[in-house]
Structure 1
């Protein structure tokens, strides 16, 4: 039926909008996965995962933990307290380096807590993967773009070995009498293999970028972001000073922890010898992918300390005590902090 309005023009009868279509079965599962209950369950599982990994590690490596704890029980508590102070300063140095590698300002308290939690994750996964993953998640939660966060991790990973090399050269100049470590230097074949492996890795990277065009854009974008951020950071003293000073202080603090533990057990070496031994050992085998450097670095440290004149048994006890103090003692608190940060959606 057609209605005639007052102006004489025809007008259609009003119609009503059709009801909204019911959600399809394909959309229903997505809604369920995004429900608050499922999200809470996922966060709870992620927060409990570090504790489960620690429990499994404790079952596998309980002998080392027991022996180290027994040796520390008979050590000088004053020196152990000093070692604990240096251990805490190591987390502060790590937070300084992380902040110095990023233009954005991060909340100091949460940054320090994230580095404490990252230390627990770093001792579970090799090659600092755990620490980098925790830090990258923290940066994203603070609103830092993924490209910039990844570039900061790359700058962090580059600055630390460069700063450690500078510290090593300073020690060589300041203490020339420590150059007697002949057997600690790699032989010619080892240097050839190292150079060959480095050249092969670079060649493979160049070939992949040349053959696979889809890799060029993300790689060039990442390099552009990294270079731009590095240039900006080095124009700001509030960034490059904590970046480089924190990276240079890290091996000194680690060596100071080992020296304090050694002094608590009666190690007959000086502080400079212990720190120099750590610099040599970590440089020689630091590239071996082991969780937190445990394993290869420990063996190299025992060998280096014994080369400086320490008894092998005492050097071994010092390294075991150092690992208990820096790994096992803060591991459970670090995992609890990691779980708390996940629960509060900081990570």
Structure 2
């Protein structure tokens, strides 16, 4: 068997396992929804009569996340990208990410967009890796900082924020070491590190990368905070932000399309564990998912089709 056929077989097996895991999570989420349907129904009714002003704030924050994502992507590359198409690509990528697990849809859209802008496949993939690395580090720093402001929320000792940050850094170092021990991983890691050094040699690019990554994480938390205010959920904004970051990071470990099922369950559990009534938590999660997933989904797919038609992807 040739190396190409081995690679194809391995890719198919990985795809089968991801599909099986996705189906298992969706079935489990469906069972939970059926079991707790009265709570979900009451939560939906509560969302329907929520404060419209706060919902407008949440919608504005959700729309701004795409601009921050575009800013971070621009910061991860050396050449100037067409701003209009870059923003449209981020909007389309967010919709594509709801269709395939583990971020494959959004990654494929961004990869194709960067290649259409004249970058090679390896450089495009490296730029995506740089953006993902910055986003992960920003989230880890925010969780550590908020854990200090809200001690005990995550079930950790009051002064465990430093240990939490150390654990995150250690995990990233372990991933880097694993990549360094693998032949192809060494090449990819070297490209990522070289691009990171080159980006930080240009302060404006570094500011765009880190500012966009920070803005994207903070605005997603702001969406949930505004929705909790709309449904009169009695939780402090810093606590909601910490619960969102922790729950979304945990849900990312399960490769379901758009976090469907995994993120919903993790957010509901986190808000309930944080002291929110079950009905209010369900309303907040429904509102957050409505603004960040379901309402933008069809327009995002239309933008994706338009970009493909105009050969921008």
TM-score above 0.5, yes or no? yes
Instruction: Structure 2: give runs of 5+ residues left out of the alignment.
Output: 1-25, 158-167
Q: Distance in 1 between matches of 2:264 and 2:147?
A: 22
Quote the residue 1:262 is aligned against.
228
Q: By how many angstroms is 1:90 displaced?
A: 0.6
Q: Distance in 2 between matches of 1:313 and 1:220?
A: 49
Quote the residue 1:164 is aligned against.
139
Quote the residue 2:216 is aligned against.
250
Task: Report the TM-score, using the length of structure 2 for normalisation.
Answer: 0.76
Rate the CA distance shift 1:69–1:136 in 2: closer, same or farther, 3 A. farther
Other structure's SS at 1:127 match: helix
One of 100, 104, 118 as aligned partner of 1:129 = 104
Q: Distance in 2 between matches of 1:234 and 1:204?
A: 25
Q: Does the alignment pair 1:152 with 2:152?
A: no
Q: How large is the Cα RMSD of the aligned pairs?
A: 3.0
Higher relative helix content: 2
Contact map agreement 1:103 1:233 (CA 8 A) in 2: yes
Q: Does the alignment pair 1:323 with 2:298?
A: no
Contact map agreement 1:79 1:264 (CA 8 A) in 2: yes
Other structure's SS at 1:309 match: coil
Instruction: Structure 1: give runs of 5+ residues left out of the alignment.
Output: 1-56, 186-193, 210-215
Task: Report the TM-score, using the length of structure 1 for normalisation.
Answer: 0.69
Other structure's SS at 2:99 match: coil
Q: Distance in 2 between matches of 1:299 and 1:163?
A: 24
Rate the CA distance shift 1:282–1:260 in 2: closer, same or farther, 3 A. same
Q: Does the alignment pair 1:180 with 2:152?
A: yes
Rate the CA distance shift 1:231–1:206 in 2: closer, same or farther, 3 A. closer
Quote the residue 2:253 is aligned against.
287
Quote the residue 1:52 is aligned against.
none
Q: By how many angstroms is 1:134 displaced?
A: 0.1
Other structure's SS at 1:128 match: helix
Q: By how many angstroms is 1:199 displaced?
A: 11
Contact map agreement 1:184 1:304 (CA 8 A) in 2: no
Q: Distance in 2 between matches of 1:139 and 1:198?
A: 26
Quote the residue 1:314 is aligned against.
280
Q: Distance in 1 between matches of 2:188 and 2:179?
A: 15
1:97-124 CA-to-partner distances (Å, cap 9, x unmatched) read: 1111111110111100000000000111
Rate the CA distance shift 1:287–1:246 in 2: closer, same or farther, 3 A. same
1:151-192 CA-to-partner distances (Å, cap 9, x unmatched) read: 01111111111111111222233x2xx22235589xxxxxxx
Rate the CA distance shift 1:184–1:289 in 2: closer, same or farther, 3 A. farther
Q: Does the alignment pair 1:103 with 2:75?
A: no
Q: By how many angstroms is 1:311 displaced?
A: 0.1
1:190-210 CA-to-partner distances (Å, cap 9, x unmatched) read: xxxx9xx99998898677x4x
1:42-66 CA-to-partner distances (Å, cap 9, x unmatched) read: xxxxxxxxxxxxxxx9xx99999x9
Quote the residue 2:267 is aligned against.
301
One of 304, 310, 313 as aligned partner of 1:338 = 304
Quote the residue 1:32 is aligned against.
none
Q: Distance in 2 between matches of 1:100 and 1:237?
A: 10
